[in-house]
A and B are shown apart, each in its own frame.
Chain A
């Protein structure tokens, strides 16, 4: 539906189902799905397809995404669009998704859907944003998203016009004096020099600054008079929403805030949501990663306190025991009962 015509991946749970589904579907859609021989090859194939002008994607989970870092950075710096579906094994890849492990001054836009329905919307949005900004973009999904069946209303979103891909390589301008070039160093041709690495990478940095300003997304519930705001992302958020609903029913003034873009992190929206609060709690199923961005947003005005911790199930593939409404509610209730927190 988003017009993706090239997908390459390497099997790795919990991403494998996505690869298998596309292996079944792509040929009838007139596209190509490659079971690549490594994650490194998969992402470089996706880069090639994107450079040739196709809507292109790859994916993996944390360990495989780690192998793809060089190519993601390369695409950010040579302006090739594609989408990376990180079906993470839980929430422990937030740093990887938002800081990136590649080289150079680049950022990677990352959308974190809370459920399958939102993931379907985000898929369309990601292909659109990749083309709009000529950059690789990512989805932070996880085991729950890739292994949950949900009825969804599959509507094509109307996302606006995109510039033509006149930069895409197709060979057609060879010998005309106007042949195309995709190169992180942007050296251009001997008779038509390009900007070179300095000016080109400054341009890239400026582009990501524009993206940071324009593409922050978030949602919040019952924060206006909340004394405590709980921040969570991805599939953890519906659990936190449930907790907030239950505590509100008991008269506790709590609200919840969910960054939808992990990068650019919606700093001002979070600061606004917490403006009447006396504390911010951060529920994430990891050793504390998103909490860094929450602290940056709050700026030391009020305490920011972690609620979650590392928690993996016995298979090592998905979130563990703390992803439960009861666990979260009890922990939040205890923290609020403790009063002033540092």
Chain B
């Protein structure tokens, strides 16, 4: 650890997020998920929800947060987190219940679950980390992979004739009256990171207050799954993903 001498001053940013036990993880260099983890934990801490928070985490590289964060977690079946979270919230209405899932988990396996939870207006928050691949299994195409995206199962690029079109989950959720706040953010630069933190915090605030279902899709880098050097990850989000999945608040404020 390099520790330069520090003239009089104060610390303005910690390395670890609040509630984070360790920064050691084996996710790839340049992965966007750990940045999203930090934003979620900051939001929970800022809103003072840590003594109410119960997270339901699907299957993906992001699952590791279950070991890295000091809040109650259930790791559940692929795609099913919104249903599991529904069961938890219905019997513990005072808990701040949320799900963390990838695009494979939500757009592919669990599209029914998230839409039904949103339609029912369950007072939970779903955070969908969207990097357009099944990263944990090596980088296959998901229902949210964008046109032209090369993946292990679309090596020549996603083609609408063969593979159809990507599913815009945030837009689908926003169409349902039970969803009261829907936003899409990204973690590819400091400006987007700051915006995304606000989206996530607002989403947690509203579901914890019992207003309804809230959803934040977060575009994250997966340079490994995208066959790119780490430095090109942020640009790929800006040049490619954001063209299909525009960032911003889609519904509510």
Question: A residues near B, CB below 8 A?
Answer: 5-6, 8, 32, 34, 36-38, 40-42, 44-54, 56, 70-71, 74, 78, 169-177, 179-185, 187-191, 193
Q: Which residues of A contact B130 (CB under 8 A)?
A: none
B88 touches A52 (CB 8 A): yes
Q: 18 more A-B contacts (CB under 8 A) besides A177-B70, A188-B67, A189-B68?
A: A8-B87, A40-B83, A41-B83, A44-B76, A46-B87, A47-B87, A48-B88, A52-B91, A56-B87, A74-B77, A170-B72, A176-B70, A179-B69, A179-B73, A181-B73, A185-B75, A187-B67, A190-B67
**Known contacts A49-B87, A52-B95, A175 near B72 by CB under 8 Å:** no
Q: Is the CB–CB distance between A171 and B52 below 8 Å?
A: yes
Question: For residue A194, which residue of chain B has the nearest CB?
Answer: B67
A51–B67 Cα distance when bound, in Å, is: 18
* B84: nearest chain-A partner, CB-CB: A48
Q: Is residue B80 contacting chain A, with contact meaning CB distance below 8 A?
A: yes
Interfacial chain A residues near B69, Cβ < 8 Å: 179
| Bound Cα distance A169, B97 (Å) | 11
From the candidates A38, A74, A179, name the one contacting B70 in the complex (CB within 8 A): A179
What residue of chain A has the Cβ atom nearest to residue B95's Cβ?
A: A171
Interface hits, B71-123 → A, CB 8 Å: 71-77, 80, 83-92, 95-96, 112-113, 116
Q: Closest approach, in angstroms, between the C-beta of A45 and any C-beta of chain B? A: 4
Segment touching A, from B7-15, B17-25, B209-217, B220-228: B17-25
Number of interface residues of B (CB under 8 A): 40
How many interface contacts (CB-CB < 8 Å) are there between A and B? Answer: 154
CB–CB B87/A190 < 8 A: no
Q: Which of A49, A187, A189 contacts B91 (CB 8 A)?
A: A49
Choice from A37, A173, A183, A193 contacting B116 with Cβ under 8 Å: A37
Contact B54 A171 (CB under 8 A): yes
- Which residue of A170, A180, A191 has the most chain B CB atoms within 10 A of its CB atom? A170
Question: B19: shortest Cβ distance to chain A, in Å?
Answer: 6
5 sampled A-B residue pairs with Cβ under 8 A? A41-B112, A174-B49, A174-B52, A174-B72, A181-B72
B56 located at the interface, meaning its Cβ lies under 8 Å from any Cβ of chain A in the complex: yes
Q: Are A173 and B66 in contact (CB under 8 A)?
A: no
Contact A182 to B73, CB < 8 A, known contacts A170-B92, A171-B53, A191-B22: yes
A190 engages B68 (CB within 8 Å): yes
Q: Check A49/B73 contact, CB under 8 A, given A41-B80, A41-B83, A174-B53.
A: no
B84→A45 contact, CB < 8 A: yes
* Chain A residues within 8 Å of B50, by CB: 171, 174-175
Which residues of chain B come closer than 8 Å to A5, judged between CB atoms?
A: 91
Cβ-defined contact, B72 with A179, below 8 A:
yes
In the complex formed, the residue of B with least CB distance to A183 is B75
Q: Which A residues are CB-close (under 8 A) to B68? A: 189-190
Task: Name the contact of A40 in the complex, choosing from B67, B80, B90, B95 (C-beta under 8 A).
Answer: B80
Are the C-beta atoms of A173 and B72 separated by less than 8 Å? yes
B9 to chain A, nearest CB (A): 28
Q: Contact: B22 with A32, CB < 8 Å?
A: no
Contact between A49 and B88, CB atoms less than 8 A apart = yes
